[in-house]
Amino acid sequence: MFALVSLCYILIIKKDIRALTLEQLTNLFKTINEPSFRAKQVYDWLWAKREVNFENMSNLSKPLRDYLQTNFLINAVQIAELQISNDRTIKCAMKLHDNYVVESVLIPQGERMTACISSQVGCSLTCKFCATGKLKRMRNLNADEIYDQVVLIKNTAFENYNTPLTNIVYMGMGEPLLNYNEVLGSVDKITNPNGLGMSPKRITISTAGVAKMITKLGDDEVKFNLALSLHAANDEKRNHIMPINETNTLDNLADSLLHFYNKTGNRPTFEYIVFKDFNDSLQDAKELVDYCKKVKSKVNIIEYNAIDDCEFKQTLPERLRAFTNYLVENNIICNVRRSRGKDIDAACGQLANKNKLAQQLVK
C-alpha cells in the first residue's frame, strides 16, 4: 500500500534558483540538453532584470519555462508597506518569502540617494541605544534577499523622485559581519555588470565590531567602505552600551582595523552617536582623538534618535559644538550627520518593525 501511494504522489521539492551560480546553471542546462547560453539568459533575467516570474522570460522556450516552473522557485522580496517622512525619507517594510519582515530605508539628501538595507531578521547584539537590538534574531538574509532590497529601493527612488540610487549602506537591521558570506555575495551581485553594476566605492558596510571578521575583510581585500559603530572610545563605557565590546575590545578592534587599512588602503569611518552626559564631554572627545590616531580614520558624529524604554537622551547643541570643535582642532576628519526620517521611525537606530504588517504577523 505504501509503495502504491509513493508511486501516485511524487513530491517535487523546489529549489531557489537564485541560489545557483552562473556556472551551476550552465551545468544544469547541459544535463537537460539545453544550450549553455540559456544559462546566461536566465541569469540575466534573475539579476539584471530582477524578473520574479518564469513565464515572463520571453526569450526562453515554453518547455524550458515549464521545466523551471516545475523544479524551481524565486523567493522574491516584496514591499508590503511604505511610509514617507516629512523630510522625504521613505521606509519600506519588506516581506520575505517565509513571512518575516525587515525594514529598508531610502534617504534622499542633496544629490545623494542612499539605500539603507538590512542583513538579518532582527539582531543578536542587544546594543542599548538601538531599537533593532531589542528584537530577537530570527535568521540571516540570503544574498538574493539583500540584493532585492537594493533593487526595490532603487525602483522606489525612480518612482517617487525620478532620481537614480547613488549609495548603499548596510546599516539597517542586523549585524552584517555575522552574515559574512551572504553579505559579500550580495555585494558581488550589486557590483557585478550582470547585476546592478554599482561601484563598490558607493557601498558602506557598518559593523558593531567583530574583530576577526574585520581582519577577514582585509584578507579578502574588499573594495567597499567600512564603518565601525564606535560610540565610546574607552572600554568601560563601550561595554555598557554594546555588550559585543566585552569580547571585541577597543585594542582588538584597532588591530583588526589597522590590518584592514593596510590591506585595502581604505580608511574606516567611526560612527559616534553623542549621548547627553554619557559620551559628550571634552574628555570623551580626547579619548576619541587618541583612538583615531591608532589607525587612519574618519568620524561621523550622529544625532541620537530616541527609542522606547531607553536611558539615553540627545546631547545639548553647545556640547555637540564643543565636542566636534575639539576633533577638528586636533586634525580629525569629522562630519556631523543629521538624522532623517525620525517621524516614521526610520532614523539611525530606530528600525524595530513597528509597521502594521509586522505587528499583524507577530499576533
CATH code assigned at 92:
3.20.20.70
Query: Is 165 found in the same domain as 132?
Result: yes
Look at residue 250 and tell me if it is in a domain: yes
CATH number of the domain where residue 63 is located: 1.10.150.530
Give the chain's domain count. Answer: 2
Name the residues annotated as catalytic: 103, 348
Lowest mean pLDDT among 2-6, 33-37, 336-340: 2-6
Q: Do 194 and 97 belong to one domain?
A: yes
- Has residue 3 been placed in a domain? no
Pick the residue with more confidence: 357 or 115? 115
- Give residue 48's pLDDT: 92
Same domain, 24 and 99: no
8 Å CB contact between 285 and 321 = no
3-state secondary structure of 334: strand
Residues 304 and 353 in one domain: yes
Same domain, 187 and 97: yes
Distance separating alpha carbons of residues 40 and 198, to the nearest angstrom = 20
Residue 318 carries which DSSP code?
Answer: H
Return the number of other C-beta atoms located less than 10 Å from residue 227's C-beta.
19
Residue 336 lies in a domain: yes
* Of the candidates 280, 283, 282, 346, the residue with the CA atom closest to the CA atom of residue 313: 280
Mark whether 106 and 41 lie in a shared domain: no
Identify the pLDDT of residue 11. 52
55 with 159, same domain? no
Residues 106 and 156 in one domain: yes
Residue 55 in this model has a pLDDT that exceeds 70: yes
Give residue 358's domain range: 78-362
In-domain check, residue 108: yes
pLDDT at 3: 44
Residue 229 belongs to a domain: yes
On whether both 118 and 35 belong to a single domain, the answer is no
- C-alpha cell at position 58: 520571453
Q: Does residue 1 carry a pLDDT above 90? A: no
pLDDT beyond 90 at 13: no
Residues 215 and 252 in one domain: yes
Instruction: Express each pLDDT in 183-196 by its tens digit.
Output: 999 999 999 998 99
In a domain, 2, yes or no: no
Which is more confidently placed, 13 or 97? Answer: 97
Classify 126 in phi/psi space as left (phi over 0), alpha (psi -120 to 50) or beta: left
Same domain, 34 and 149: no
Last residue of a domain, one of 28, 51, 73: 73
**Residue 5, pLDDT above cutoff 90:** no
Handedness of CA 160, 226, 103, 132 (dihedral sign): negative
Q: What are phi and psi of 42, to 5 degrees?
A: -65, -45
Are 267 and 215 contained in the same domain?
yes
* CA-closest candidate to residue 351, choices 73, 49, 129, 41: 129
Q: What is the pLDDT of residues 250-309, one digit of tens each?
A: 999 999 999 999 999 999 999 999 999 999 999 999 999 999 999 999 999 998 877 666
Would you state the pLDDT for residue 337? Answer: 84
Instruction: Report if residue 271 sits inside a domain.
Output: yes
At 198-227, the pLDDT tens digits run 999 999 999 999 999 999 999 999 999 999
**Alpha carbon distance 165, 332 (integer Å):** 29
Cα–Cα distances in angstroms (integers) from residue 94 to residues 25, 49, 77, 120, 341, in the given order: 28, 19, 6, 12, 17
* Structural domain includes residue 4: no
Task: Return the SS3 of 174.
Answer: coil
Q: Which of 50, 73, 96 is the last residue of a domain?
A: 73
